[in-house]
Amino acid sequence: MECWSLDSVDDSLQCGRKIRLLAVIDVYTRECLNITVDTSLGGQNPEEMDI
DSSP tag of 17 = -
Residue 28 confidence (pLDDT)? 93
pTM of the model: 0.69
- Residue, of 45 and 20, whose pLDDT is higher: 20
Say whether pLDDT at 2 is over 90.
Answer: no
- Distance between CA atoms of residues 2 and 7, nearest Å: 17
Q: Which helix (H) or strand (E) holds 26?
A: strand 18-26
Residue 15 confidence (pLDDT)? 95
Cα torsion 35, 43, 8, 29: sign: negative
- Distance between CA atoms of residues 18 and 39, nearest Å: 6
List pLDDT tens digits, range 4-35.
898 989 999 999 999 999 899 999 999 999 89
Residue 11 confidence (pLDDT)? 93
